[in-house]
Amino acid sequence: MSPLVVFLLLWGVTLGPATEASTAIKTQPSLWAKAESLLEPWANVTLICQTPLESLDFQLLKDGGVQELAHVAMPTTKYQFPLGAVTSDSKGLYRCRTTLQSPDTWTELSDLLEVTGTEPLPPPSLSPEPVSWITPGLNTALLCQAGLQGVTFLLKREGKDDFLQVAEAGEGRQAAFPISQPGNYSCSYRTAAAGSSSEPSPAVRVQEHAAPPKPVLTFRGFFPEILPPKAPNSLLCLAPLSSGLEFQLRRGEEVLKVHMSSTSPDRVMFDMNLEDLGDHGPFTCRYRLSSKGAAWSSDSSPLEIMWSDRTLPAPVLTAAPTGPHPEPGSTVQLRCTAARAGLRFALQRLAPREARLLQLQSPTGTQAVFTLRDVSVADSANYSCVYMERARPYAGSLPSAPLELRVHGPAPRPQLQALWTGPVPAGRDAVLRCEGPVPDVTFELLREGEKEPSVRRSTPSNSTLLVLAFVGPQHAGKYSCRYSSARRGAFQSELSRPAELLVRGN
């Protein structure tokens, strides 16, 4: 039998590292406050830093800078930092971290702990478990967590003055509230039965669905690609929750019997033999909760798989306007022509170690026209096209001769947006969004006058959030972002227009 070449086209969301099972050990420490007396919570306070792994070094940070470093003789998972009575010097925003195996390797920072020394007490956090929606068969709860140990929690629903749930934390600092009605919820806490409540948490909106939201079906990887002959083929179905799920792979209304495997409750891998499947799809997946009477979710966006045995003659690929050097910002049409009609055409971008499937068309005539809009140096590559029959025996062509496009000039400048207004309080995070026209790149955030980036992040998308964590006065300045890529051909964009970060002391 002739070698098989497999082409996969993803119609929907392309996933990156999130598609791989998370096997990392949790290392983020927790930080909370313990009061000697809840009747006077700020009279004598101790901050407790606890880590999942034993450590010899514990570091307390305040308002974006290092406050105290403690080294212990024996490895431990918990360390106490006494504050005593809270004063103007000790109030502020705290985080902690610990070392891992090496003394120079620190964990990520704990969540933020606010010490005010005044009433009302700082707000708690409110988060949904496992998701922010309710549906038959799913037990949804809201987790309210305070920075102070041993308080009493109160949950309210917007517009319902008589709705109130109360839970005692005991020796803990959080409470879970079961939710059965949609709405906007917030929580607060109090230190004594007759005491006043804290500031309320930011609201969490809980929605109601008759059926669970649709999952995502994707090829296992960053993008649709050409696989080696006879390579194993797997599709990944990723659900928006991980709570006792049952999955199906479907072709139309047909449920396909394929081998399934999983490394995490929120996803399943469908192992597929393309020759046995025959038809190229499109395929969808769905899931349901394992509880009795649970409804199936909506179907995922469709994904189409095609394979070619290379037994048909190669098509011809041409470009309009002609020539290998289109002008930056122009539109290029790539025309793939075959000897007969009724075929499925695919355009692919060639690279030394991969062939990425870009577009798919099923025209009525003998040719497909693929459009590249607003081209830039990021579109510089060799392209080819193939075609496949839409009926058995699903024969496919050889690829066309490569067509080279080379666009000169720098990559378009990205846009940088600061997601805050005014000065950022010392100890808070400064979050910026960098967005460009090109997906699958690495974004960098650079401060004016510095060569090394403050933040670097790779993403299959064309935008990302860049976070300056726990900022202090040392982080103030003007920042710009840029993006680069080695996978798409080595290029680097111009710097964005700057955004200025001002830091306000507490």
What residues of the chain score a pLDDT lower than 50? 1-23, 222, 228-229
Q: Which structure tokens are listed for 289?
A: 């909760």
Q: Which structure tokens are listed for 266?
A: 């929120």
> Alpha-carbon distance 440 to 460, whole Å?
4
In this predicted structure, what is the pLDDT of residue 234? Answer: 81
In this predicted structure, what is the pLDDT of residue 506? Answer: 63
In this predicted structure, what is the pLDDT of residue 461? Answer: 87
User: 3-class secondary structure for 139-186?
Assistant: CEEEEEECCECCCEEEEEECCEEEEEEEEECCCCCEEEEEECCCEEEE
Q: What is the CA radius of gyration of the chain?
A: 28
Contact 299, 285 (CB under 8 A): yes
In this predicted structure, what is the pLDDT of residue 309? Answer: 78
> Alpha-carbon distance 249 to 180, whole Å?
30
Task: Give Dmax (Cα) for the chain.
Answer: 86
pLDDT tens digit string along 83-118? 999 999 999 999 999 998 766 789 999 999 999 999
User: How many H-runs (helices) and E-runs (strands) does the chain carry?
Assistant: 1, 39
Contact 257, 296 (CB under 8 A): no
SS3 378: helix
CA distances (Å), origin 251, targets 258, 280, 286:
12, 9, 11
Q: Which structure tokens are listed for 2?
A: 């002739």
In this predicted structure, what is the pLDDT of residue 447? Answer: 97
Contact 358, 348 (CB under 8 A): yes
Domains of the chain: 5-21+221-284+296-307 (no CATH), 30-110 (2.60.40.10), 125-208 (2.60.40.10), 316-405 (2.60.40.10), 415-504 (2.60.40.10)
Q: Which residues contact 412 (CB under 8 A, 6 or more apart)?
A: 376, 436, 437, 438, 493, 494
Q: Which structure tokens are listed for 311?
A: 């037994």
Q: What is the pTM of this model?
A: 0.80
> Alpha-carbon distance 259 to 475, whole Å?
52
CA 315 to chain centre: 39
CA distances (Å), origin 162, targets 157, 165, 197, 270, 472:
9, 10, 17, 49, 43
SS3 19: helix
SS3 276: helix
The residue among 408, 339, 344, 407 whose CA lies nearest residue 372 is 407
> Alpha-carbon distance 469 to 466, whole Å?
9
Q: How many residues does the chain have?
A: 506
Contact 444, 426 (CB under 8 A): no
